[in-house]
């Protein structure tokens, strides 16, 4: 029976976040996980593509983060789409909550990773949504970079 290879370092990115949002500030938060969730994350079976963070009773939770069920788990498995509590310093939580309430910014997960101790961490960012013309500008910059690298490559050969 073949087993899934558990990765040493896990890095699951939210690729659309940098395109959809202007990143103002970054934080690294711990995640409260239950049961087999950490094993599923180490297998790389998680997604933060459509997730966001919100406050509830002064605590920060990540919503819409998907952690698939662990393949070798028995019938006591976890709910893939449940809210998960994030662990930050009290001062960081107060600062983030104030920014979100006063200025209407959002908190978006950028990267789900495991540190050297094997603990799951979530890099979150305080973001402002980009307007349509900002997105067009991002696409234009990306295209020009790609074209420049293509031209440089042709000259080097």
The residues pairing with 54 across neighbouring beta strands, listed in sequence order, are 61
The yes or no reply on domain 11-130 and CATH 2.40.280.10 is yes
Query: Is the Cβ–Cβ distance between 129 and 17 less than 8 Å?
Result: no
Q: What is the pLDDT along the chain (157 residues), one digit of tens a residue?
A: 445 555 568 888 998 888 888 899 999 999 999 888 888 888 888 999 989 999 999 899 999 998 888 777 666 667 778 899 999 999 999 999 998 998 889 999 999 999 888 899 999 999 998 888 788 888 888 899 998 998 888 888 6
- 49-85 burial: b if 16+ Cβ within 10 Å, else e: eebbbeeeeeebbbeebebbebeeeeeeebeeeebbe
pTM for this one?
A: 0.78
């Amino acid at each position: 029976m073949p087993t899934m290879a558990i990765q040493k370092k896990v890095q699951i990115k939210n690729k659309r976040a940098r395109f959809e949002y202007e990143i103002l500030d970054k934080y690294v938060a711990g995640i409260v996980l239950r049961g087999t969730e950490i094993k599923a994350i180490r297998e790389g079976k998680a997604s933060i593509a459509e997730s966001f963070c919100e406050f509830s009773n002064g605590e920060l939770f990540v919503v819409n983060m998907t952690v698939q069920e662990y393949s070798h788990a028995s019938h006591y498995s976890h709910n893939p789409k449940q809210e998960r509590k994030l662990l930050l310093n009290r001062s960081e939580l107060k600062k983030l909550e104030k920014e979100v309430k006063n200025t209407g910014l959002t908190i978006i997960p950028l990267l789900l990773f495991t540190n050297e101790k094997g603990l799951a961490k979530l890099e979150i960012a305080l973001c402002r949504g980009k307007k349509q013309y900002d997105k067009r500008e991002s696409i234009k910059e990306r295209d020009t970079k790609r074209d420049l690298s293509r031209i440089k490559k042709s000259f080097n050969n």
